[in-house]
Amino acid sequence: MSDQDREGVQKDEVTSTGRRDFMKGSVTVGAGIVGAGALALRGDEGSSTLSRFFGPSAAHAASSEGGLDFHVPPGKLDHYYGFWSGGQSGEIRIVGVPSMRELMRIPVVGRDCATGWGRDDWSKQLLGGRDSGDTHHVHLSYTDGTYDGRYVYVNDKANARLARVRCDIMQTDKITDIPNSQGTHGIFPQRHKTGLVLCNAEFRTPQPNDGRDLDDPAAYGAMHTAIDGETMEVKWQVLVEGNLDLCATDYEGKYSFATCYNSEGGVTLEGMMASDRDHLYVFNLAAIQKAVKAGKTIKVGDGSVPVVDARGKNGPYVQRIPIPKSPHGVNIDPTGKYAVCSGKLSPTVSVVDISKLDGVFAGKIKPRDAVVAEPEVGLGPLHTAFDGRGNAYTSIFIDSVITKWNIAKAIEAFDDPEVDPIIQKLDVHYQIGHTNASLSETKDADGKWLIALCKFSKDRFLPVGPLHAENDQLVDISGDKMKLVHDGPAYPEPHDCVVVRRDMIHPSKVDPRSGPRYDYYNKLAKEDGVDLLQDTKVIRKGKGRVRVYVTSVAPVYAMTEFRVKTGDEVQVIQTNLDSVEDLSHGFCMSNHDVNMVVNPRSTNSITFTAGAPGVYWYYCPWFCHALHLEMRGRMIVEA
Ligand code: K7E
Ligand code: CUA
């Protein structure tokens, strides 16, 4: 970076007025304050840091900052749905943007006490006995390069799974185990249609991982896995030698991408950071699918999934583009022309021209020649969002900033060091991980709101003990300059997010009673000759097993008493007959660890072992009526 560039950046740092800049106490800060007198205090958190010390804000220099209104008054609705991956909480959250109000939590791979997810029968089957997880990356299904509002996909890094949430009912409907994988991390659906969802294994393991080759790094590898976004079946895997971190797809369905931060094949931290260049792996989907069809595959593990072996060298399936150093995020700009890879341990992002990849695969140009820009954006670049106006916004972990830069200028600057592509650095608080902007990952990127998902909140909120809230910040990117407008405390860990225009999502008000959950309930009902929407019945299923079918209409269960025997396995299958919006009931059995929600027109069930002889009250835990407290009944347990 030239001195001139450095000066430019410093100026921007001053106008963005973080506390840290104030602490640096430079002369330029003083100059900013002189100019601040005439400016009214707008009262937004981002620009008022200096005002805590000096009164009215110095933040509003002559440049145009976004002027969007982030206040959503009572009774008014947000313009965007934000889908947040919940990290180690194992959930997805729906957040209204720009209000940043948390609208809903969708339990995915973890147990949730409020809804009974992970405890009720169907979710328990779906989770396969595991009720913890780590959901890092959420993406919606696409059609023609934009969101089609059907599904949300999310990875479970902890248990190597891909889960899917249906957007009409906002419930998890499928969870797929990914074979031969650990640390399923980056995922991305294809964008031309709801096609494949590509999933990266971040951890290299022996392949096969069955106890042999434990200490032979050469036998370690990682899988790039393709799952059908409709059926959620695993279609194929590609085995490579390096680890696979973040994932992306192009807009045409030709390529998928994975960053690799361990081209050394190290199994220790030192080993993983030894080389100056790692890679962006580019997967040629047509060539891989052709090989799978032709049976040019190997068997790994149980052999249930065809594996294309692409270890070691560039070829028809995979090309490795050298990227400095331990790259992390890879994001495709809304025009579909560029893949932007963040250096993580290099202060640069590398811009790959996707149109050059055909040439790379044809051997006409070297892989590195597909890199057309490498701007210096700050220390610890992780992820990049876009505004649809040619600008990129990269989250910078170590510096705790978002760097706004211009893609076209960065390409110019690759040949001409006089050109400065950096537009602004905005302080965020603190240690940002992901960032994403409204519709940034679609061709409809609208450049309005940017979310900064900060891992540390430190002094931004009232202290609440050793565990701090994290900080989801809202940034207005509609103007020339970014403007921080809101701090949003969040329960750990909001990991990644996508921001979707509200007209793209069409939730149902009552349960449409479709999908695998109802395949399960309809099968039970058929077996027992029961109409779920009519019947209330106790059916003894041979020795020691009882099924209790019960309907409910506010404020009563159709059955206020049933009898079982100590030690019986009791399955309560409850159907909520109310079609009224927002009228959920539930079933809680006293002293039996039994609690579930039953939404309008839903069926849900839960199984437990009847305890010691006596009377046990069951009740509705969801406030449904003035007589809600009276909505209960007795389970009589006989010896
Ligand atoms: Cu950057 Cu898991 Cu998305 Cu973390 S990964 S930041
Ligand atoms: Cu039904 Cu409360």
Q: What is the pLDDT of residue 1?
A: 39
How do 220-228 and 234-240 pair as beta strands?
A: antiparallel
pLDDT at 320 over 60: yes
pLDDT at 565 over 80: yes
DSSP label at residue 517 = H
Q: What is the pLDDT of residues 454-486, one digit of tens each?
A: 999 999 999 999 999 999 999 999 999 999 999
User: Among the atoms of ligand 2, which is closest to the Cα of residue 621?
Assistant: 2
Give the residue from 330, 438, 336, 332 showing the smallest Cα distance to 387: 438
Q: What is the pLDDT of residue 79?
A: 98
Residue of 136, 200, 326, 402 with the most ligand 1 atoms within 8 Å of its CB, for mutation = 136
pLDDT at 564 over 80: yes
% of the chain exceeding 90 in pLDDT: 85
d(CA 147, CA 145): 7
SS3 331: strand
Q: Give 16's contacts (C-beta < 8 A, 6+ positions apart).
A: 59, 401, 424, 425, 426, 427, 482, 484
d(CA 370, CA 355): 8
More confident: 44 or 374: 374
User: Among the atoms of ligand 1, which is closest to the Cα of residue 397?
Assistant: 6
Give the residue from 516, 525, 639, 529 showing the smallest Cα distance to 573: 525
Q: Using a 6 Å cutoff on CB, does residue 136 contact ligand 1?
A: yes
Residue of 382, 455, 472 with the most ligand 1 atoms within 8 Å of its CB, for mutation = 382
Distance between Cα 519 and ligand 2 center (Å): 26
Q: What is the pLDDT of residues 497-512, one digit of tens each?
A: 999 999 999 999 999 9
Q: Using a 6 Å cutoff on CB, does residue 185 contact ligand 1?
A: yes
Mean pLDDT of 95-110: 97
Q: Give 602's contacts (C-beta < 8 A, 6+ positions apart).
A: 510, 511, 513, 575, 576
**Residue type (1 letter), 536:** T
**Confidence grade of residue 63 (pLDDT, cut at 50, 70, 90):** low
Task: Please state which of the ranges 53-67, 235-249, 270-284, 395-409 shows the lowest mean pLDDT.
Answer: 53-67
Mean pLDDT of 596-612: 98
Q: What is the pLDDT of residue 265?
A: 74
**Confidence grade of residue 115 (pLDDT, cut at 50, 70, 90):** very high
**Buried (b) or exposed (e) across 551-577, using 16+ Cβ within 10 A?**
bbbbbbbbbeebebbeebebbbbbbbb
Mean pLDDT of 85-101: 97
Mean pLDDT of 558-585: 97
**Which ligand lies nearest to the CA atom of residue 624 in the structure?**
2
Give the residue from 442, 398, 397, 396 showing the smallest Cα distance to 422: 396
Binning the chain into helix, strand and coil, the percentages to the nearest 5 are: 15, 40, 45
Mean pLDDT over each residue of the chain, to the nearest integer = 90
Q: What is the pLDDT of residue 269?
A: 78
d(CA 472, CA 102): 11
d(CA 243, CA 503): 38
Residue of 184, 340, 434 with the most ligand 1 atoms within 8 Å of its CB, for mutation = 434
User: Among the atoms of ligand 2, which is closest to the Cα of residue 586?
Assistant: 1
* CB hemisphere CA count around 580 (13 angstroms): 10
Mean pLDDT of 221-248: 97
**Confidence grade of residue 546 (pLDDT, cut at 50, 70, 90):** very high
CB 410 within 8 A of CB 350: no
d(CA 453, CA 487): 10
Residue 16: Cβ within 10 Å count: 24
d(CA 562, CA 560): 7
Query: Is the peptide bond prior to 252 cis by the omega test (within 30 degrees of 0)?
Result: no
Q: What is the pLDDT of residues 333-342, one digit of tens each?
A: 999 999 999 9
List, in order of start, the domains of the chain with CATH numbers: 17-63 (no CATH), 524-638 (2.60.40.420)
Residue 365: Cβ within 10 Å count: 14
% of the chain exceeding 70 in pLDDT: 90
Q: What is the pLDDT of residue 24?
A: 33
User: Among the atoms of ligand 1, which is closest to the Cα of residue 433?
Assistant: 6
Mean pLDDT of 30-54: 33
Distance between Cα 512 and ligand 2 center (Å): 21
**Confidence grade of residue 271 (pLDDT, cut at 50, 70, 90):** confident
Give the residue from 436, 489, 519 showing the smallest Cα distance to 173: 519
pLDDT at 56 over 60: no
Mean pLDDT of 353-365: 98
Distance between Cα 493 and ligand 1 center (Å): 11
List the structure tokens of 363: 């051997």
Q: What is the pLDDT of residues 284-309, one digit of tens each?
A: 999 999 999 999 999 999 999 999 99
Distance between Cα 175 and ligand 1 center (Å): 21
Mean pLDDT of 523-537: 97
Mean pLDDT of 225-252: 98
> What are the two backbone dihedrals, phi and then psi, of residue 81, each rounded to the nearest 5 degrees?
-90, 130
CB 249 within 8 A of CB 256: yes
**Residue with the nearest Cα to atom 4 of ligand 1?**
433
Q: What is the pLDDT of residues 433-447, one digit of tens each?
A: 999 999 999 999 999
CB 352 within 8 A of CB 371: yes
Mean pLDDT of 29-53: 33
CB 374 within 8 A of CB 394: no
Mean pLDDT of 163-169: 98
| SS3 per-residue string spanning 53-67 | HHCCCCCCCCCCECC
pLDDT at 8 over 60: no
Q: Using a 6 Å cutoff on CB, does residue 493 contact ligand 1?
A: no
